[in-house]
C-alpha cells in the first residue's frame, strides 16, 4: 500500500535565481546537520547551528509566494500531520505535568524546528533529491576523516586530538569529527551508508569505497550500537528485497549484492578488532560522584543535559595496559549499557496511573532524578522509546509509532526495502542514542519519501 505524495514534493517553475538560492539553503541545511558540535548561547539557551539554518530555509519558503504554496501543500502530507500531532501532544502533556515550562520548552522548540525542517524538505522534489545526493557523497569522506582523527589522536597519545574525544572507560580516543559525540558521528555515517549502498544502479567503485571506508569509520567511533544497527539495517533490507521481489533469484541476489559486500567487510573488520582487544576485561564501572560530560541538547544553558560518559578525572593515558577496544567489548552488567538500564528503572518510578497514559511532560526526567552515580547532576534519558513514554505516556508513544508507520506506508513501493532497513537501523540506534531530535533524521525521512525519479523508474522496469 502506498499513499499518494500529491500533497508534497512539488516541482514548481522557479526562476534560475530562486532555484539556486533554494538549493543553496538546502545544501546549507544538510551541511549543518553534520555540525552538531557547534552552538551558541541565545536568551539563556544553547542553540545549535543545525537548529538555526533550517529556520532560514523555512523563512525563505514562507516569504516566496511559489515556495509558500509548495510548503503549505507539504504540510498536509500524512507524515508531517502525524508528526505535528506528536508535537502537539508533547505541548499538552508539558502544560499539564511539567514542573518547569522553561526547561521543557528547550526540547519543544527543537521539535517544532524539526517539523518545519521536515515540511521544508518535503516541499520540493528537487530539493529532497539534491539532499539525498549530498548525503550519499558524504559517506566515504565522513568515514575516512573520522578514522584519520582517531588514528592521529591515539598515535600521538592525545597531543593532536582534533575531532576526537577521550573515552575514560576504555582509555581510547574516539572520533566525533564535527558531531556532538562519537555516537552521533557514527549514526550519521550508518544512515547515509544505508541509503547509498541500497540504492539501485550504484557503481562498483562506490561500492568498494563504502565497503572499505565505513568499517574504518565505525572503528574510529568505537560505537558498538552503530555496528549492530548497520548490520541490522542491511539484513532487513536484504530479507525484505528477497521476499518481496517477483523477479528471478539471480536478480534478487544482484539487488542485494552491494549490501552483502558491506556486511562481509564489517564482519571481517569487527572480528579483527574484537580479536585484538585486551584479554583482560576493562573496568566498566562508572566512577561514583563524578560529574558527567555535558551534551548541549538545546536545554537552558544553566541546566545542561548530560551523557553517560564520565568527565575527566585524570590525564588521558592511551598506553594504559588496561586499554581495550570498546567496540569489541559487549557486556550488559556495566558501562553505558548498565547505565541505560539503571536510567530506565528510575524512569519507571513515574510511569504509573495517569502519567503512564499521558506522560510527565517533555524533558522533565532531569527535574526529578539525578544522573545515576553523579549526585547533583540532572539526569537524562537517552533511549527514545523510554523517553517518549516518560514524556508523553502511552499516547505519545503511540503517536511516535504511528509516525514511523506513516513513513513506511508513504514510501514509494520500489523503495520500501530500503525504508524497512533504514527504519529498523534507526529504531535500534535511537533506542541507544539521542538521534531523534537531530536534523539528519528529518532530512533522511524526506529523502526516503521523495517520489521516484525517471532513472529509478527505468531501473525498476528492468
Quick one: pLDDT at residue 329? 62
Average pLDDT taken over every residue of the chain: 85
Among the ranges given (120-124, 190-194, 349-353), the one the predictor scored with the smallest mean pLDDT: 349-353
C-alpha cell at 30: 544538510
What percent of the chain lies above the pLDDT cut of 90? Answer: 63
Residue 296 has pLDDT above 50, yes or no: no
How sure is the predictor about 317, in pLDDT bands with cuts at 50, 70 and 90?
low
> What is 420-455 written as a DSSP string?
HHHHHHHHHHHHHS--TTSHHHHHHHHHHHSPPPHH
Per DSSP, the residues of 167-207 read: ETTTTEEEE-TTSSSHHHHHHHHHHHHHHHHTSTT--HHHH
Q: Among residues 444, 442, 390, which one has the least CA distance to residue 110?
A: 442
Interval 236-251: pLDDT, tens: 999 999 988 777 888 8
The pLDDT value given to residue 425: 96
Q: Are 448 and 411 in contact (CB under 8 A)?
A: yes
Q: Cα–Cα distance between 237 and 320 in angstroms, integer?
A: 41
Q: What's the pLDDT score for residue 377? A: 73
* pLDDT above 50 (res 346): yes
| Residue 320 pLDDT > 60 | no
What pLDDT does residue 362 have?
A: 94
Each residue's pLDDT tens digit, 409-419: 999 999 999 99
pLDDT average, residue stretch 304-315: 40
CA distance 386 to 399: 14
**DSSP string for residues in 67-136:** HHHHHHHHTTSHHHHHHHHHHHHHHHHHHHH-S-HHHHHHHHHHHHHHHHHHHHHHHBHHHHHHHHHHHH
Residue 358: all three cell numbers together: 499521558
Q: Which three cell numbers stand for residue 330?
A: 559487549
Q: Is the pTM of this model over 0.75?
A: yes
- How far is C-alpha 230 from the chain's CA centre? 12
Q: How confident is the model at residue 185 (pLDDT cuts 50, 70, 90)?
A: very high
pLDDT bin (cut points 50, 70, 90) of residue 297 is very low
> Other CB atoms closer than 10 Å to residue 436's CB: what's the count?
17
d(CA 241, CA 188): 24
Does 326 or 70 have the greater pLDDT score? 70
Cα 62–68–70 angle (5° rounding)? 140
Mean pLDDT on 156-174: 89
Angle ∠(83,50,409) on CA atoms, nearest 5: 30
Residue 190 binned pLDDT confidence (cut-offs 50, 70, 90): very high
For the stretch 349-407, pLDDT in tens is 889 999 999 999 999 998 888 777 777 777 888 889 999 999 999 999 999 999 999 99
In contact, 444 and 422? CB cutoff 8 Å:
yes
pLDDT recorded at residue 303: 34
pLDDT band at 340 (very low <50, low <70, confident <90, very high): confident
Element (H, E) at 138: none
Q: Is the pLDDT of residue 121 over 50?
A: yes
Per DSSP, helices labelled H in 198-246 are: 204-221, 224-244
Distance (Å, rounded) from C-alpha 238 to C-alpha 242?
Answer: 6
The 3-class SS string of 300-357 reads ECCCCEEEEEECCCCCCCCCCCCCCCHHHCCCCCCHHHHHHHHHHHHHHCCCCHHHHH
Does 325 score more than 90 pLDDT? no
* Residue 163 · residue 175 · CB < 8 Å: yes
pLDDT on residue 283: 44
Q: Which residue has the higher pLDDT, 317 or 224?
A: 224
Reported as a single tens digit per residue, the pLDDT across 79-93 is: 999 999 999 999 999
Q: Is a pLDDT exceeding 70 seen at residue 3? A: no
Task: Quote the pLDDT of residue 299.
Answer: 40
| pLDDT value, residue 311 | 42
Q: What is the pLDDT of residue 462?
A: 53
Amino acid at each position: 500500500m502506498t499513499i499518494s505524495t500529491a500533497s508534497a514534493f512539488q516541482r514548481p517553475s522557479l526562476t534560475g535565481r530562486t532555484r539556486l538560492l533554494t538549493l543553496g539553503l538546502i545544501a546549507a541545511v544538510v551541511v549543518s546537520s553534520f555540525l552538531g558540535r557547534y552552538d551558541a548561547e541565545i536568551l539563556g539557551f544553547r542553540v545549535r547551528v543545525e537548529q538555526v539554518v533550517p529556520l532560514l530555509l523555512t523563512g525563505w519558503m514562507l516569504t516566496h509566494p511559489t515556495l509558500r504554496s509548495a510548503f503549505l501543500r507539504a504540510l498536509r502530507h500524512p507524515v508531517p500531520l502525524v508528526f505535528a500531532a506528536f508535537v502537539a501532544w508533547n505541548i499538552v502533556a508539558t502544560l499539564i505535568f511539567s514542573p518547569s515550562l522553561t526547561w521543557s520548552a528547550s526540547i519543544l522548540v527543537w521539535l517544532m524546528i524539526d517539523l518545519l525542517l521536515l515540511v521544508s524538505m518535503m516541499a520540493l522534489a528537487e530539493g529532497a533529491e539534491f539532499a539525498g545526493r549530498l548525503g550519499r557523497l558524504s559517506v566515504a569522506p565522513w568515514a575516512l576523516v573520522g578514522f584519520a582523527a582517531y588514528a592521529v589522536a591515539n598515535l600521538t597519545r592525545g597531543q593532536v586530538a582534533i575531532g576526537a574525544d577521550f573515552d575514560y572507560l576504555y582509555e581510547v580516543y574516539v572520533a566525533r569529527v564535527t558531531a556532538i559525540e562519537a555516537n552521533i558521528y557514527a549514526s550519521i555515517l550508518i544512515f547515509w551508508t544505508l541509503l547509498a549502498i541500497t540504492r539501485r544502479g550504484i557503481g562498483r567503485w562506490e561500492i568498494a569505497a563504502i565497503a572499505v571506508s565505513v568499517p574504518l569509520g565505525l572503528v574510529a567511533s568505537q560505537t558498538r550500537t552503530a555496528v549492530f544497527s548497520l548490520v541490522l539495517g542491511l539484513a532487513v533490507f536484504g530479507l525484505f528485497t528477497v521476499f518481496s521481489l517477483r523477479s528471478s533469484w539471480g536478480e534478487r541476489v544482484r539487488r542485494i549484492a552491494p549490501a552483502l559486500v558491506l556486511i562481509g567487510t564489517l564482519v571481517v573488520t569487527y572480528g579483527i578488532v574484537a580479536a585484538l582487544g585486551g584479554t583482560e576485561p576493562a573496568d566498566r564501572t562508572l566512577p561514583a560522584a563524578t560529574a558527567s560530560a555535558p551534551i548541549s541538547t538545546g536545554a537552558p544553558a544553566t541546566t545542561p543535559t548530560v551523557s553517560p560518559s564520565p568527565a575527566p578525572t585524570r590525564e588521558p593515558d592511551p598506553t594504559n595496559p588496561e586499554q581495550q577496544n570498546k567496540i569489541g567489548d559487549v557486556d550488559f552488567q556495566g558501562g553505558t549499557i548498565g547505565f541505560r538500564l539503571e536510567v530506565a528503572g528510575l524512569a519507571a518510578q513515574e510511569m504509573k496511573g495517569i502519567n503512564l497514559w499521558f506522560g510527565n511532560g517533555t524533558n522533565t526526567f532531569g527535574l526529578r532524578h539525578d544522573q545515576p552515580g553523579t549526585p547533583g547532576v540532572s539526569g537524562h534519558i537517552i533511549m527514545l522509546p523510554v523517553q517518549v513514554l516518560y514524556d508523553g505516556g502511552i499516547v505519545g508513544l503511540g503517536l511516535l509509532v504511528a509516525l514511523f508507520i506513516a513513513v513506511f506506508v508513504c514510501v514509494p513501493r520500489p523503495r520500501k526495502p530500503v525504508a524497512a532497513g533504514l527504519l529498523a537501523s534507526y529504531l535500534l540506534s535511537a533506542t541507544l542514542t539521542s538521534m531523534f531530535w537531530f536534523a539528519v533524521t528529518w532530512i533522511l525521512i524526506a529523502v526516503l519519501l521523495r517520489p521516484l525519479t525517471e532513472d529509478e523508474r527505468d531501473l525498476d522496469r528492468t
